[in-house]
C-alpha cells in the first residue's frame, strides 16, 4: 500500500522546530503511516538529532520522488545553508526568518506541483520574518498568497472534534459587528464544502451560541434572535446539515462525544479554549479552502527552551498524522 508523502518545512532554525521534527520522524507510529520529507538545513537537523540523542540516520535527497521508507531515516531536501558561526538558538534574527520562509516556499512549491500529498508545518517566528523583510505575518498568509487563495479557512481538530472560526484575530467589540446572517450563511457553506474535500460528508455542523444561554430569547443579547437563528433556519431550508445555536458551554462537549461532525465557533477564544482544554498538545490547525492540504502544530518557536532537547513532539506527530489521514480524500 502506498504511503502518503508529507512535506515538513523545518521551521525557524533558532526555535524548537528542528527538534520536534527529528523526534516525530524517529517514532515508529509516524514511520508506519507516512513518508516524511523535511525541507530545511542538514546542519541544523544533525545538531537537533545530537541534542535529542536520537539514533536517526539523515539522508539528503535531491527530488521528492526519491523519499524512501527506510526505517529510522530522516529524508530531507537541503534548502539554503545557515552560516553556523552566526547561528544561535533562541534569538530573533533576519537570517533565520529568511531561512524559515525559504523552507515554507519550497514545501508549497512541492505541493503545488503534486510532488507531495500534503504539508505539515512547524513553528516560525513572526519577528524574525519581519526582520527578514518577509511581507506576510504568518503561515496562513504565506500559504494563501503562494496558492492564490484569498481567504483560507482555519479548522482545528482535536481528538476527532473539528472547530471552525467565524471570526479570528479581531477584538470582541469588532467581532459583534461581524455576527451577521449573511456572513454566517456564507461561512457555513464554505466550511461544509471544506469538510467534503477532507472526505467528511456525513453528520451535522453545530453553530455555537454567542450569549449566555443563547441570549434567552433576547434577554441577554439579541444576536441569536436577530442574526444566528435566521441564518440557521435559512440554511436548513436550503438543505444544509446544520443546527443551532447551541450554548457554548454545551456544544463543544457534545461535539467531542461525536454528536456533530464540526462546530462553528463565533470568535477566536471560544473555540481555542474548547479544543486546548480537551487536549492542548493534540489541537492541530488545518488550513482549508486551498488547492493543497496543510496541517500545523498550534504552538510557537519556544525560544526559551530551543536547543535543549526538552521540547515534546506530540503536536508535530499529530500534525503529520492528520495530514496522512486526510491526504487521500483531499487528492481525489
User: What confidence tier does 217 reach under pLDDT thresholds 50, 70, 90?
Assistant: confident
Residues 54, 134: one domain? yes
Cis amide linkage into residue 274, ω under 30° from 0: no
Considering the chain, what percentage of its residues have pLDDT values greater than 70? 100
* Separation in Å, CA 153 to CA 160, 283, 321: 18, 16, 20
Read off the pLDDT of residues 126-168 as tens digits, 9 standing for 90 and up: 999 999 999 988 888 899 999 998 888 999 999 999 999 999 8
Q: What is the pTM of this model?
A: 0.92
What's the rounded Cα separation, in Å, for the pair 153 and 166? Answer: 9
Residues 199, 307: one domain? no
165-201 in b/e form (b: 16+ CB < 10 A) is: bbbeeeeeeebeeebebeebbebbeebbebbebbeee
Residues 114, 30: one domain? yes
Q: What is the mean pLDDT of residues 86-111?
A: 94
Higher pLDDT: 224 or 44? It is: 44
Read off the pLDDT of residues 254-275 as tens digits, 9 standing for 90 and up: 999 999 999 999 999 999 999 9
Read off the pLDDT of residues 280-295 as tens digits, 9 standing for 90 and up: 899 999 998 899 999 9
Q: Kindly state whether residue 287 falls inside one of the protein's structural domains.
A: no
Residues 110, 188: one domain? no
Q: Kindly state whether residue 194 falls inside one of the protein's structural domains.
A: yes
User: What pLDDT was estimated at residue 1?
Assistant: 61
CB 180 within 8 A of CB 227: yes
Measured from the Cβ of residue 89, the count of other Cβ atoms closer than 10 Å reads 21
Residues 22, 131: one domain? yes
Which residue in this structure is represented by grid cell 515538513? 8
How many domains would you assign to the chain? 2
C-alpha cell at 101: 520562509
The backbone torsions φ and ψ at residue 128, rounded to the nearest 5 degrees and listed phi first, read -70, -40
Q: Kindly state whether residue 300 falls inside one of the protein's structural domains.
A: yes
The residue among 231, 252, 276 that closes a domain is: 276
User: What pLDDT was estimated at residue 169?
Assistant: 82
Q: What is the mean pLDDT of residues 40-57?
A: 94
Whether the pLDDT of residue 6 is over 90: the answer is yes
User: What pLDDT was estimated at residue 175?
Assistant: 92
Sheet holding 284-288, edge to edge: 57-60, 73-78, 34-40, 4-9, 118-121, 294-296, 284-288, 153-158, 161-165, 262-265, 205-208, 242-246
Considering the chain, what percentage of its residues have pLDDT values greater than 90? 79
CB 75 within 8 A of CB 3: no
- The angle subtended at Cα 304 by Cα 40 and Cα 17, nearest 5°, is 20
Provide the domain limits for residue 238. Answer: 155-276
Q: Kindly state whether residue 283 falls inside one of the protein's structural domains.
A: no
CB 24 within 8 A of CB 17: no
Residues 230, 253: one domain? yes
Whether the pLDDT of residue 60 is over 70: the answer is yes
Residues 143, 187: one domain? no
Residues 145, 8: one domain? yes
Residues 9, 141: one domain? yes
Q: What is the mean pLDDT of residues 208-222?
A: 84
Read off the pLDDT of residues 170-204 as tens digits, 9 standing for 90 and up: 898 999 999 999 999 999 999 999 999 999 988 99
User: What confidence tier does 214 reach under pLDDT thresholds 50, 70, 90?
Assistant: confident
Residues 167, 97: one domain? no
Amino acid at each position: 500500500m502506498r504511503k502518503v508523502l508529507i512535506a515538513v518545512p523545518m521551521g525557524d532554525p533558532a526555535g524548537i522546530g528542528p527538534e520536534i521534527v527529528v523526534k516525530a520522524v524517529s517514532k515508529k507510529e509516524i514511520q508506519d503511516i507516512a513518508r516524511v520529507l523535511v525541507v530545511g538545513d542538514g546542519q541544523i537537523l544533525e545538531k537537533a538529532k545530537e541534542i535529542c540523542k536520537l539514533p536517526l540516520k539523515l539522508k539528503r535527497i535531491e527530488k521528492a520522488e526519491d523519499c524512501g521508507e527506510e526505517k529510522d531515516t530522516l529524508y530531507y531536501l537541503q534548502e539554503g545553508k545557515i552560516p553556523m558561526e552566526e547561528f544561535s538558538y533562541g534569538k530573533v534574527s533576519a537570517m533565520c526568518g529568511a531561512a524559515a520562509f525559504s523552507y515554507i516556499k519550497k514545501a508549497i512549491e512541492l505541493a503545488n506541483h503534486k510532488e507531495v500529498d500534503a504539508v505539515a508545518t512547524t513553528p516560525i517566528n513572526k519577528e524574525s520574518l519581519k526582520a527578514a523583510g518577509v511581507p506576510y505575518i504568518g503561515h496562513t498568509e504565506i500559504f494563501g498568497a503562494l496558492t492564490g487563495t484569498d481567504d483560507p479557512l482555519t479548522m482545528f481538530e482535536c481528538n476527532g472534534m473539528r472547530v471552525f472560526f467565524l471570526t479570528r484575530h479581531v477584538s470582541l467589540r469588532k467581532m459583534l459587528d461581524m455576527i451577521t446572517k449573511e456572513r454566517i450563511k456564507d461561512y457555513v457553506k464554505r466550511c461544509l464544502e471544506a469538510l467534503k474535500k477532507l472526505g467528511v460528508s456525513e453528520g451535522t455542523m453545530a453553530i455555537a451560541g454567542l450569549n449566555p444561554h443563547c441570549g434567552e430569547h433576547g434577554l441577554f443579547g439579541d444576536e441569536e434572535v436577530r442574526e444566528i437563528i435566521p441564518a440557521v433556519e435559512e440554511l436548513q431550508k436550503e438543505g444544509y446539515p446544520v443546527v443551532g445555536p447551541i450554548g457554548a458551554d454545551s456544544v463543544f462537549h457534545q461535539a467531542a462525544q461525536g454528536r456533530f461532525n464540526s462546530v462553528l465557533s463565533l470568535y477566536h477564544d471560544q473555540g481555542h479554549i474548547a479544543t486546548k482544554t480537551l487536549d492542548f498538545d493534540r489541537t492541530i490547525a488545518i488550513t482549508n479552502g486551498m488547492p493543497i492540504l496543510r496541517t500545523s502544530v498550534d504552538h510557537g518557536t519556544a525560544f526559551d527552551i530551543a536547543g535543549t532537547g526538552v521540547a515534546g513532539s506530540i503536536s508535530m506527530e499529530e500534525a503529520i498524522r492528520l495530514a496522512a489521514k486526510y491526504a487521500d480524500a483531499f487528492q481525489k
